Structure 1
């Protein structure tokens, strides 16, 4: 039997042949010395080598890369690198716009690097002016603390925080290093390193100054605080990489500039593009507002429906960004989709992958069951044949609104009802869609001859199921 030393010697000789650029460096790493199997050693190191060198090209192919500081790719190929991205705690839940930085952190960890998620407990008190046309309301400490805890809980679903791996994910909160940082120390130790000219040149500042709302000194200093975050993490945690959305580029390079001027170690950065829908609309918004990761704010069914209903052009882009499917598999799906768009092959796979990632396989299965029922060819008789318990289970997650049951004692004007519930923004739009045959109640098509509702329209003596066009279903509960 080979001794531990002989195993290491054989492994090192094989590495000289298979991976000469890293063999000397890796031979002395704890990962190499502590692993018992030489084949595990070689397999782990070679896999890490391939993944690390493919990290930036992988992001490029998936449409996840916009700007990059020279040398970033080389740094990531050289060694395990710690990198971070920030999350703004303006709510106790992240939304799907936040999935982009989460996906980047997941790619970073998957490539063998160490991901840090920074929660802006301090910067959240100020508000990032990037991409904003007006100053936001400041959060109080209680709200901020609640939001920070909610975000921490959500991030643990996507990243591996296991102590047993060398690149375990870490959570940091910039409030921890800013809470005792007094103003005089800040302007002396931070402010003197960045000129006003440099700060004024940033788009986030110029755009606000050119508008009518202006910019407060509080927001003007935001880039100094975010820049100091990078300097602090570089110094204390050896974090060499920061990344984020393209609108963060100015704030990010303020950090690299501060590190350079204060004599820190090497610092690198990249950004990903800001997502826009094919029609020019803002990604991540539905008609009812943000699509949240918290199931209490956006149900798994509504979450699934959002992705299922993206446009074909958006689906081709989003499936590369928001899933970890191999690009070769995605190319196959795109070929299947083209020419058979009505089958929504891409949208279904995208919705499946991300619903399971954010929620669970059980939630995905339930969303499919509800979707098949709501958009299938079932009839009013099928609805009535369900028990109340079966109906409630199927309707879990379907958007609903409450309405007073007493109003059905006398005939209720249907146009008024559809407007009052918010299903239609106006009586005119409700009337127009009814005339076009786009509205049904409990699977019964509503035409111009049906002008009022009464209790006979209730399902299980409590519900009405409203179809608005082909893609929207609303549940009204009568109390």
Structure 2
């Protein structure tokens, strides 16, 4: 998409998104896509979604400098409701981010106020990339620090805390898990659910907000808000809990060698992001297409057929990787990731890759550490492409070693400055598929 600005490309992506009109209601589509794990009254929610435009929200805490795949699920739920004509609020928690939602196992490390404020700004920018900022139902950003900072501790306890029962709070899943752990739970994190409940009450008062969405592991926090609105205002409010997405083998989704898949390209390169989706198992890929893309039911069912009948083509994985990478990083970055995948294995020109794409691709490979002038045989052994320098020399002699996809036949070959792409990088290959990266 040469010549197209990032803003224009984002507008084009949002403009192409549609809910699937083959479903009788939006609720039906959300259920088919596997986006509803738990909710308040399903019948009332379905009617609400089909009725006049209303305001709804989801909260994102700045406990890291970027959102991740779990947050992307919520952003796409927000977007689907926005496409229906409803009015989203994107809450980035400047106050709850200072506290931290209780984790099941251990207390969070509290970040400084300056760090949290910086991360609030970063996350707000990410939220607006996935929701339309134009029209009568444009997304509005809110920060819960705006209504919690002016409250004194006495006012908070009198006006909000009195509506919460400790016995009920102790039964919340996250709290119960921590109480039974060696770490226990601090009063600070114990109070988190009161803060989130108060958020919903304030948004109800300020914007007539009627619905909150979040992960099902947040259900206790979600219902703290609906209960508070009922007690204080005497009105019904709703909540939707999306399922925690796991792999078919039961392992946690969205983890790559222990690291979250972040939406920030500096924390997870578009190439790494693309490869994550491309490597989804056959047993998982259709569920991923339902949740993370706007492909229609008919298109997804066709991919389901292809997975069953022609799994070796990996057509569903390729489409999934393309769609989600373009959604998050843009079509140009998605194509760059595809080009890099091709080029690494000799089916494209490595020199044609831009530096950021090449750097992201090489970062995923085993690494050979050294400097200009290092013997190639030594680098091959160090990277693990061969077991020893002797084996490396034999592989070179047999014609099975490549530098930047060019075959090598000199057993004494060294890495020279001419080998360095963008002045820093080289790709080493043995055979057709064994790759390593070299960075000067």
- Is the TM-score greater than 0.5? yes
Q: Aligned with 1:171: secondary structure?
A: strand
Correspondence 1:168-187 to 2 at 5 A: 168-187=138-157
Which residue does 1:122 correspond to in 2? 95
- Residue 455 to residue 374, structure 1, CA distance change in 2 (3 Å): closer
Higher CA-based Rg = 1
Q: Does the 8 A contact of 1:52 with 1:76 survive in 2? A: no
Is 1:263 the counterpart of 2:223 in the alignment? no
Alignment equivalent of 1:216, drawn from 177, 186, 199: 186
Structure 1 residue 440 displacement after superposition = 6.7
Instruction: Normalising by structure 1, report the TM-score.
Output: 0.76
Which residue does 1:397 correspond to in 2? 360
- Residue 440 to residue 305, structure 1, CA distance change in 2 (3 Å): farther
Structure 1 residue 464 displacement after superposition = 3.6
Correspondence 1:428-439 to 2 at 5 A: none
Greater RCO (CA < 8 Å, at least 6 residues apart): 2
Quote the Cα distance in structure 2 between the aligned partners of 1:81 and 1:232: 16
Correspondence 1:1-400 to 2 at 5 A: 54-70=25-41, 71-129=44-102, 131-162=103-134, 165-287=135-257, 289-376=259-346, 395-400=358-363
Quote the Cα distance in structure 2 between the aligned partners of 1:234 and 1:471: 56
- Residue 156 to residue 52, structure 1, CA distance change in 2 (3 Å): farther
Q: Does the 8 A contact of 1:369 with 1:394 survive in 2? A: no
- Residue 354 to residue 390, structure 1, CA distance change in 2 (3 Å): closer
Structure 1 residue 403 displacement after superposition = 3.5
- Residue 179 to residue 154, structure 1, CA distance change in 2 (3 Å): same
Quote the Cα distance in structure 2 between the aligned partners of 1:194 and 1:468: 64
Structure 1 residue 220 displacement after superposition = 0.3
Alignment equivalent of 1:465, drawn from 404, 427, 433: 427
Quote the Cα distance in structure 2 between the aligned partners of 1:468 and 1:332: 37
Structure 1 residue 55 displacement after superposition = 1.7
Quote the Cα distance in structure 1 between the aligned partners of 2:82 and 2:308: 33
Structure 1 residue 132 displacement after superposition = 2.8
Deviation per residue, 1:248-287 (Å, 9 max, x gap) = 1111111111111112432011111000012222111112
Q: Does the 8 A contact of 1:231 with 1:264 survive in 2? A: no
Deviation per residue, 1:309-342 (Å, 9 max, x gap) = 1111111110000001111111012112322111
Structure 1 residue 236 displacement after superposition = 1.3
- Structure 2, gaps ≥5 residues long: 1-17
Quote the Cα distance in structure 2 between the aligned partners of 1:267 and 1:210: 31
Between 1:459-468 and 1:61-70, the stretch displaced more is 459-468
Q: Aligned with 2:34: secondary structure?
A: coil
Which residue does 2:383 correspond to in 1? 418
Quote the Cα distance in structure 1 between the aligned partners of 2:113 and 2:92: 14
Q: Does the 8 A contact of 1:133 with 1:208 survive in 2? A: yes
Q: Does the 8 A contact of 1:300 with 1:359 survive in 2? A: yes
Q: Does the 8 A contact of 1:464 with 1:477 survive in 2? A: yes
Q: Does the 8 A contact of 1:59 with 1:65 survive in 2? A: yes
Which residue does 2:14 correspond to in 1? none
Q: Does the 8 A contact of 1:398 with 1:473 survive in 2? A: no
Q: Does the 8 A contact of 1:457 with 1:464 survive in 2? A: no
Quote the Cα distance in structure 1 between the aligned partners of 2:303 and 2:145: 45
Quote the Cα distance in structure 2 between the aligned partners of 1:146 and 1:92: 8
- Residue 311 to residue 179, structure 1, CA distance change in 2 (3 Å): same
